[in-house]
Amino acid sequence: MAKRDLLSLWDLSAAEIRALFVRAAELKALRAHGERPLTLGGKTLGMIFEKASTRTRVSFEVGMYELGGHAVYLAPQGTQIGRGEPLRDTARVLGGYCHGIVIRTFGQEIVEELARFSPVPVINGLTDLSHPCQVLADLFTVWERLGPVAFEPGPGSVRFAWIGDGNNMAHSWIEAAAILGLDLTLACPDGYDPDAEVLGRARKEADWRAHIDVVRNPVEAARGRNVISTDVWASMGEEGEQGAREKAFAGFCVDEQLLGLAARNVMVMHCLPAHRGEEITDAVVEGPHSAVFTQAENRLHIQKAVLERLLAPG
């Protein structure tokens, strides 16, 4: 069977995403009862991390352990990766040792080159362009709380909003909207729009039900929405732009006033770490509408489902 990668959400069909939700729910329930389905017994996951991480690293390591496998953490320091070994060489060497590779890095082209030369599945743990595992966890959180009807047309259909930078998280939300046929409005300041190619592909290949819009006013994006998501204004590698971004993003804070415009049962999401008081207030993170820590936990469960699908197909 040909190996499969998860480099972006485009690598999954709508049916496969829904199947991952079902399996993640099963795995979450089993864990709550102290059960460990050892579906990846004898499997090893190589983990290349060129960016700092809490949730991605821990959730993949714990996930492999709970499925009976093992994870090997590789940082640039102390490996040949940091000394400039060609990525194609690393890909083939790790592919000879491991049954899968997760990489958290900068350019999307790095992940794509690794996957091109790796004989085993490659999972995108984050790039500057996309963050598919996080958005899968976010979508699973919505599915878990509101049920499958949340993604179907009709009265129970959920309306989504993204408030903030048109960054990697926004890109993966756009891809999810196109694949699953979601109603998504993104509010981004002028000059901080999502990548034009990402947006163009999504609109071209979108499910007929999908509605993807970009606006300038967060009030317009939040009004009547059931799910509101946000992220830091300056992502990793953009810290030098913090001052300029604070000015550009003035008025884009997800606060209680903004929530007052949303649907009564609105869910608020943030992929963490959060700069409380900037893109989101402490009151919202800790408030009754917050799903922040549930979505963080759900990284573990959805990634276990992804690992099973890619490393133990069939």
DSSP string, 27-70: HHHHHHTT----TTTT-EEEEEESS--SHHHHHHHHHHHHTT-E
Question: 230 and 147 in one domain?
Answer: yes
- Annotated catalytic residue: which of 55, 99, 131, 171? 131
- Annotated catalytic residue: which of 23, 104, 225, 270? 104
Domain count, the chain: 2
In a domain, 198, yes or no: yes
- 171 CB-near residues (< 8 Å, 6+ apart): 129, 130, 131, 194, 195, 198
- Under DSSP, the state recorded for 83 is G
- Annotated catalytic residue: which of 5, 57, 99, 134? 134
In a domain, 1, yes or no: no
Q: Is 231 labeled as catalytic in the residue annotation?
A: yes
Question: 67 and 181 in one domain?
Answer: no
- Whole-structure pTM value: 0.96
Question: 124 and 110 in one domain?
Answer: yes
DSSP sequence for 240-279: GGHHHHHHHTTT--B-HHHHTTS-TT-EEEE-S---BTTT
Query: CA-based angle 254:169:61, to the nearest 5?
Result: 110
Q: Is 299 labeled as catalytic in the residue annotation?
A: yes
- Under DSSP, the state recorded for 194 is P
Q: Is 242 labeled as catalytic in the residue annotation?
A: no
In a domain, 147, yes or no: yes
In a domain, 2, yes or no: no
In a domain, 226, yes or no: yes
In a domain, 4, yes or no: no
pLDDT averaged over 10-residue windows placed end to end, the chain, 314 residues: 93 97 98 97 96 95 98 87 87 96 96 97 98 98 93 85 97 98 97 97 94 98 98 78 90 97 97 96 98 98 98 79
In a domain, 3, yes or no: no
pLDDT of residue 80: 82
Separation of alpha carbons 262 and 167, rounded Å: 23
Question: 47 and 152 in one domain?
Answer: no
Question: 83 and 118 in one domain?
Answer: yes
Question: 170 and 141 in one domain?
Answer: yes
- Domain holding 201: CATH number? 3.40.50.1370
User: Domain span at residue 188?
Assistant: 134-295
Residue identified by tokens 């082209």 is 109
Q: CA end-to-end span of the chain, whole Å?
A: 10
In a domain, 22, yes or no: yes
Question: 155 and 55 in one domain?
Answer: no
- Annotated catalytic residue: which of 55, 57, 270, 299? 299
- Annotated catalytic residue: which of 231, 253, 270, 303? 231
Q: Is 145 labeled as catalytic in the residue annotation?
A: no
Question: 190 and 287 in one domain?
Answer: yes
Question: 269 and 151 in one domain?
Answer: yes
Question: 146 and 79 in one domain?
Answer: no
Question: 252 and 152 in one domain?
Answer: yes
- Annotated catalytic residue: which of 271, 295, 301, 303? 271
Question: 36 and 140 in one domain?
Answer: no
